[in-house]
């Protein structure tokens, strides 16, 4: 049973995306087009109420694309769900390597901005935060319980760390940051 739960957790996004697509197509073919259109926002609302999760900009874009080409939207949505599941699995791995009191505040740089994760890490460092690349390839950053950047965090496991240089010096409104290897 524990193994089944782990598989479901590791593939949650893919399962939801596939099930949502099937439900949406089924409602559409049954003549309930509006019901089919509302499946994805309903899943987002349930996820938000259960876990606080919100769709990212890419999810919303894929959903909107479905109005133009349902087939392309389903294919891209399934691929993105697989990628999301992989990133969540890697994030869990990163969190397990750090002190458990900090684990809930370690986040994926992918969700910080629409830039590539390595660029997001640089933006985080210039805004006064700490970001690092884990050996599993995931770029992450840390905040405090209030969501503010943590400037002086030293992860247990990393490939490279981006964070503000001490003493803190501002240049053009941003912090000067450095790289630790």
87 shares a domain with 43 = yes
Backbone CA torsion sign across 149, 169, 173, 108: negative
Q: How far apart are CA 61 and CA 43, in angstroms?
A: 16
Q: How many domains does the chain have?
A: 2
63/108 same-domain check = no
Residues 56, 18, single domain; the answer is yes
- Decide which of 29, 61, 96 is a domain's last residue: 96
**Tens place of pLDDT for every residue, the chain, 181 residues?**
777 767 667 777 777 777 777 777 777 777 776 766 777 777 777 776 777 777 777 777 777 777 766 777 778 778 888 888 889 999 999 999 999 999 999 999 988 887 899 999 999 999 999 999 999 999 999 999 999 999 999 999 999 999 998 777 777 778 788 788 8
pTM: 0.74
Same domain? For 80 and 164 the reply is: no
Q: Do 157 and 87 reside in the same domain of the chain?
A: no
pLDDT at site 36: 67
User: Where is the domain boundary, 42, 74, 96?
Assistant: 96
Quick one: 83 and 17 in the same domain?
yes
> Does 78 lie in the same domain as 6?
yes
What are the structure tokens assigned to 91, written together? 């994030």
Of the candidates 95, 80, 85, the residue with the CA atom closest to the CA atom of residue 140: 95
Residues 139 and 157 in one domain: yes
Both 57 and 141 in a single domain?
Answer: no
Same domain (yes/no): 131, 87: no
If asked whether residues 88 and 118 sit together in one domain, one would say no
Same domain, 175 and 148: yes
Q: Which residues of 83-117 are buried (b: 16+ CB within 10 A; e: fewer)?
A: ebbbbbebbeebbeebeeebeebbbbbbbbeeeeb
Q: Which domain holds residue 169?
A: 103-180
Last residue of a domain, one of 64, 96, 128: 96
């Amino acid at each position: 049973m524990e193994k089944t739960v782990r598989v479901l957790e590791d593939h949650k996004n893919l399962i939801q995306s596939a099930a949502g697509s099937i439900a949406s197509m089924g409602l559409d073919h049954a003549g309930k087009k509006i019901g089919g259109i509302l499946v994805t926002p309903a899943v987002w609302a349930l996820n938000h109420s259960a876990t606080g999760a919100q769709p990212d900009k890419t999810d919303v874009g894929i959903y909107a694309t479905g109005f133009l080409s349902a087939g392309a939207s389903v294919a891209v949505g399934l691929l993105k769900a697989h990628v999301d599941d992989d990133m969540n699995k890697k994030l869990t791995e990163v969190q397990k390597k750090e002190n458990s009191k900090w684990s809930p505040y370690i986040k994926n740089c992918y969700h910080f901005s629409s830039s590539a994760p390595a660029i997001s890490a640089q933006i985080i460092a210039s805004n006064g935060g700490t970001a690092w690349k884990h050996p599993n390839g995931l770029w992450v950053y840390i905040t405090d319980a209030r969501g503010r950047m943590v400037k002086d965090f030293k992860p247990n496991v990393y490939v490279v760390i981006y964070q503000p240089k001490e003493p803190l010096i501002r240049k053009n409104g941003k912090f000067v940051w450095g790289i630790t290897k």
